Chain A
Amino acid sequence: LAKTTQPISMDSYEGQEVNITCSHNNIATNDYITWYQQFPSQGPRFIIQGYKTKVTNEVASLFIPADRKSSTLSLPRVSLSDTAVYYCLVVGSEYGNKLVFGAGTILRVKS
């Protein structure tokens, strides 16, 4: 089972870069890593997805080392509106596509 582990919470200030790391030691060869953002009383929202090395879109970057046992979501120059819960999701394809979200990381951005 591709269980993921993330820090429970992180604090940052506006304008700083925030890096949230997720460990997924049992990731399988065909598994991708996907990150979601969730605000209170809303459903999660897709941020970024990657398989290896680095992926960048208009809101974030995702860094994945060669062994793929971890990944780091990087949010450049955060603002107060980035305060949310961030989830790392790895679907365990070797174990029947187990869809298991972890508890996520609560990011608090302060002014």
Chain B
Amino acid sequence: DTGVSQNPRHKITKRGQNVTFRCDPISEHNRLYWYRQTLGQGPEFLTYFQNEAQLEKSRLLSDRFSAERPKGSFSTLEIQRTEQGDSAMYLCASSLGGGGLSTDTQYFGPGTRLTVL
């Protein structure tokens, strides 16, 4: 069983550097989500894709954040000019996406923990 995988699992960077994370969803899953989670909080929605189309972005997502899913399979999340406030766990989830978002069963990856020094 190949679930959702995320790489790297941990990333330490210095303020001002760019970082890129990768998410490989479950095969044949059409929807892919990105979340950010800080200690003691629930996952915070960032964006989601239906196949290769990015359909929604959170207003909390600053222009330093960009996500792609070029062929409708894996996705990357890039953060430019990182700030200490970007330190968090970045979670990816995928779903079959056959109906509305309300009925989606999301399968989450293990996350990438980002530490910005």
Interface of A toward B, CB cutoff 8 Å: 30-32, 34, 36, 41-46, 49, 87, 90-91, 93, 96-104
Residue B65 is within 8 A (CB to CB) of chain A in the complex? no
Residues on the B chain within 8 Å of A32, using CB: 102-103
Cross-chain contact B41 with A31 (CB below 8 angstroms): no
Using A31-B102, A91-B101, A104-B42 as known contacts, say yes or no to A45 and B108 having CB atoms under 8 A apart.
yes
Contact of B103 among A41, A49, A96 (CB under 8 A): A49
Known: A34-B105, A46-B106; 17 extra A-B contacts, CB below 8 A, are: A32-B102, A41-B111, A43-B91, A43-B108, A43-B109, A49-B105, A87-B43, A91-B100, A91-B102, A93-B100, A96-B56, A97-B56, A99-B48, A101-B43, A101-B45, A102-B42, A104-B42
Interface of B toward A, CB cutoff 8 Å: 4, 33, 35, 40-45, 48, 56, 91-93, 100-111, 113
Task: Return 6 A-B CB contacts under 8 Å, by A number.
Answer: A31-B102, A36-B106, A42-B111, A43-B111, A93-B102, A99-B33
With CB as the reference atom, state the residue of chain A lying closest to B109.
A43
Residues on the B chain within 8 Å of A44, using CB: 43, 91, 93, 106, 108
With CB as the reference atom, state the residue of chain A lying closest to B6.
A43
Q: How far is the CA of A102 from the CA of B42 in the complex (A)?
A: 6
With CB as the reference atom, state the residue of chain B lying closest to A100.
B45
Residues on the A chain within 8 Å of B93, using CB: 43-44
CB distance from B89 to the nearest CB of A (A): 8
Contact of A46 among B33, B92, B107 (CB under 8 A): B107
Q: How far is the CA of A4 from the CA of B88 in the complex (A)?
A: 23
With CB as the reference atom, state the residue of chain B lying closest to A88.
B42
CB distance from B13 to the nearest CB of A (A): 19
With CB as the reference atom, state the residue of chain A lying closest to B33.
A99
With CB as the reference atom, state the residue of chain B lying closest to A44.
B108
Residues on the A chain within 8 Å of B41, using CB: 103
Contact of B105 among A30, A46, A98, A102 (CB under 8 A): A46
